[in-house]
Structures are given as structure tokens and as C-alpha cells.
Amino acid sequence: MAEPAATGGQALLFLTDEQLRKGIEAMFFAYRGFTADPDRILGDMEYGRAHHRALHFIHRSPGTTVNNLLSILGVTKQSLNRVLRSLIADGLVASRVGRQDKRERHLHLTDKGSTLERALSDAQRDRMRSAYRAAGPVAVAGFRQVLEAMMDHDMRRQYDALKDRPV
Amino acid sequence: MAEPAATGGQALLFLTDEQLRKGIEAMFFAYRGFTADPDRILGDMEYGRAHHRALHFIHRSPGTTVNNLLSILGVTKQSLNRVLRSLIADGLVASRVGRQDKRERHLHLTDKGSTLERALSDAQRDRMRSAYRAAGPVAVAGFRQVLEAMMDHDMRRQYDALKDRPV
DNA sequence: CTTGGAATGTCAACAAGGCTGACGTATCTT
DNA sequence: AAGATACGTCAGCCTTGTTGACATTCCAAG
């Protein structure tokens, strides 16, 4: 198991435990970088990474319901509610009662919310852009392929549902 | 800025805000998958992700000092200490006073610690392996390139220091 | 030999952000 | 009319991060 090369020769050397370990460590260190810039911005405020995630996906899917957001974020409603409550209280997010189904709340960013979302996503995108530029288009395609193959089935569905929707 | 294509034509289409956003969401969903399997194992025990990280890097660098581990993990010593204390108390990690410098504590996994570390890393490696296999060697090379370009400078140094050391 | 600084550990207090369980209310669906 | 669904909320717990303060132990420089 530690040496797949035995089964297929040179072609499978990228599946050695050693290569896999490097990938694991790369994910660990890269994810730290990935969140570092927004975290720095949020550190000066009363918000955290959970608020960033909520803002991101509300921005992505304006009018989304609480339940929908719940399944995308993969947290409990109590946990999300704590975050949403503060965002709504501070006027970053608007919650509107549904027209067809009045039980639902549809979530939108206010101007103030959009401003913060923009600041956070600009910071994160800047890092992503410079990584993309350094690695080049072929590497980027591979990057996306591996990440998509790494997702759980359910998360993959959430991701695909968002993937090709225009902003 | 939203349309780098204006500056260089087709060649830079992979740097559009849209592509960058997809990369950001891919990182988010993939990281959840990345940690899901070890988290499931740890969920049944009294340990969490922080314990996993400590076990991983002690396994990688047997005899490492607390200070060294601190800089790799990027947390405060108080936070790490709480984790280490429970791992040591439960007999998963051995802490030995340094021979040259007796202030230092050198950390090693015990047999029991190695067993757990193996179980966790097997689970994580299995997912990584199947993602690698699905994506293929070229994609994997790109994956690593982009991740490495995404790291902070300091993290990149930590990563490189580990990268080519034999297990 | 004394003293300053480095490495480590520990105590206390706190916050973010996960979780479960239970309950209430409004609204749809059957 | 009854049951299911969507949402909010209260209470309490856990992990894991933070700061600040302080003790110990040891190395090394004066």
C-alpha cells in the first residue's frame, strides 16, 4: 500500500504515501494563507470567519433562505442564527418575509453589507490571483480538479449548484 | 480590474474574478472534505482537530521541541500546551527533557500515539489518494503549485523545511 | 558568580463558534 | 383539524483560540 509503483510502474509514483503527505501538508499551510487576509480585516471588528462565510454566500445567492444557507454552510441553525442576528442588527443583512411562502426569510446584503463583503473578498481574491498568476492556467485547472475530487458528495452538489451561476 | 482579458486577451481568462471566486469556493468546500474523515474518528473520542495536528507534526518530526511545534502550528503556547498536556497525560506523547539544553522538551509519539496518528492519517490519505487518482498526475502537480503559491511567506518556509525530509 | 534572557510550563479569564435539546410561533399542506 | 415545515430563541456544553501574569530552569555573558 505504501508503494503503488509495484502495481503500475513509474506512472503511479504520484500516489505514494510520501506524495500524499506533501499534499496534506500543502492543504494545511495553504488554507491558513487562504483565510489570513480576511481574518486580519475581521480581527479589527466584532466579526469573525463565520460572518465572512455568511456574507459570501448571501452575496452569491441573494434572496437565499435560511435553510438553504444552512445546508451550504453545514452548521446548525443555532450557530448560523447567532451570526445572522448580529449581521441583521448591525444593518449588514436584510431579512425579508417570503412572498409565496411567508414562513421563509429571504436574505440580502444591504449597501453596508456589500461594502464589507467586497472588502473581504477583494483581500481573498488578491491572494488567489497572485497564486494563480504565479502557477499559470494549466496548474490552476489541475488545482480545481483535485479540490473538486476531494469534496464530499453533498458538498460537491452544493458547489456545483453555485459554480456556473453568473454573479 | 474585473476583466483582465482586456489587458492580455484570451491568455488571462483564468484570472477573471469569476474564476477566482470559483477557486475560493472550491477551497472552502474541499477543506471541509479534507478534515471530515479525521474529524469523524476524533468525534468519538475526547480529542479534536488540534490534537490531530499535534500528532501529525510530532510524527513528522520526532524529537521536535515545543517551540518548534508552536511555530509550525501557528498557535499560542498556552493553546498548544492544553492539547499536549492531555496527549501526554493519556500516554500518546512522550516529553523528554533535552540532553544539550535541558530547558527544551523533545516530543515523541508513544506506540499508542502512533496507532492513533496512523488511523487518522490513513483516513485522510485515503481521501487524498482517491482525489489524486481521479484527477491524475498533471492535475496533482498543478494543485501543489497553486497551494504553494498561496501560502504566507513564513508558512512556506515551514512547509519547505518539512517537504523533502524523509519520514 | 551573578545576572539577564530564553525556553518552558501553568493559572486565570475570556471569546468565537461549533454542538445538542427543548420549546414556541407562524405558516403551509394534506 | 392535524401534521409538517421554516424559523427563531433560550440554555448549556465543548473545543480551541486569545491575553496577561508569573514561576522555574537553564545557558551564556559580563
Per-residue pLDDT reduced to its tens digit, B155-167? 999 999 887 666 6
Whole-prediction pTM value? 0.90
Q: Does B34 touch chain A (CB under 8 A)?
A: yes
Joined grid coordinates for residue B161 = 523545511
pLDDT given for residue B44 in this prediction: 82
Contact B125 A24 (CB under 8 A): yes
Mean pLDDT calculated for residue range B7-31: 87
Q: Which pLDDT band holds residue A149 (cuts at 50, 70, 90)?
A: very high
Round and report the angstrom distance from CA (B103) to C1' (C5). 13
A80 pLDDT higher than 80: yes
A29, B155: Cβ pair inside 8 Å? yes
* Cell numbers describing residue B16: 477573471
Instruction: Give the model's pLDDT for residue A4.
Output: 47
Q: What is the pLDDT of residues B44-54, one digit of tens each?
A: 888 999 999 99
Asked whether residue B71, judged by its CB, lies under 7 Å from any atom of the DNA or RNA strand C, the reply is: no
Contact map slice: B 90-119 vs A, CB within 8 A: none
Report the length, in residues, of chain B: 167
DSSP A132-156: HHHH-HHHHHHHHHHHHHHS-HHHH
B11 CB within 8 Å of a chain A CB: yes
Q: Which of B140, B150, B156 is facing A146, going by the closest CB pair?
A: B140
The Cα–Cα gap between A127 and B46 comes to: 36
3-state secondary structure of A129: helix
Listing DSSP states for B58-71 in one string gives HHHSTTEEHHHHHH
pLDDT at B167: 60
Please give, chain by chain, protein residues whose CB is below 7 Å from any atom of strand D: A 65-67, 70, 77-78, 81, 84-85, 95, 101, 103-105; B 46-51, 74-76, 78-80, 82-83, 97, 100-103
The C-alpha angle A81, A42, B23, rounded to 5 degrees, equals 85
C-alpha cell at A158: 452544493
Q: Report the chain B residue with the minimal C-alpha distance to residue A12.
A: B137
Contact (CB, 8 A) for B59 and B114: yes
**pLDDT tens string B137-154:** 999 999 999 999 999 998
Q: What is the pLDDT of residues A50-71, one digit of tens each?
A: 999 999 999 999 999 999 999 9
| Closest to A63 measured CA to CA, from A29, A109, A116 | A109
Nearest nucleotide (CA of B84 to C1'): C9
pLDDT at B11: 73
Closest amino acid to nucleotide D25 (CA–C1'): B103
Q: B70 CA, D9 C1': separation in Å?
A: 40
User: Higher-confidence residue: B167 or A127?
Assistant: A127
Opening angle at CA B127, ends B123 and B129, nearest 5: 110
Whole-number percent of chain A with pLDDT over 70 = 92
Q: Does A158 touch chain B (CB under 8 A)?
A: yes
Q: What is the pLDDT of residues A8-57, one digit of tens each?
A: 556 788 899 999 999 999 999 999 999 999 999 998 888 999 999 999 99
Work out the average pLDDT over B84-107: 88
Q: Choose the mutation target among A18, A150, A155, A163 for the interface with B, i.e. most B CBs under 10 Å.
A: A150
List, in sequence order, every residue forming a beta bridge with A107; answer none if it has no partner: A64, A95
Alpha-carbon distance of A33 to B72, in angstroms, equals 13
Residue B83 or residue A165, greater confidence: B83
| Residues A68-83, mean pLDDT to the nearest whole number | 96
**Contact present, A5 and A18 (Cβ < 8 Å):** no
Q: How far apart are the first and last CA of chain B?
A: 45
Q: Is the CB of A106 under 7 A from strand C?
A: no
Option in B33, B138, B152 nearest A151 (CB): B33
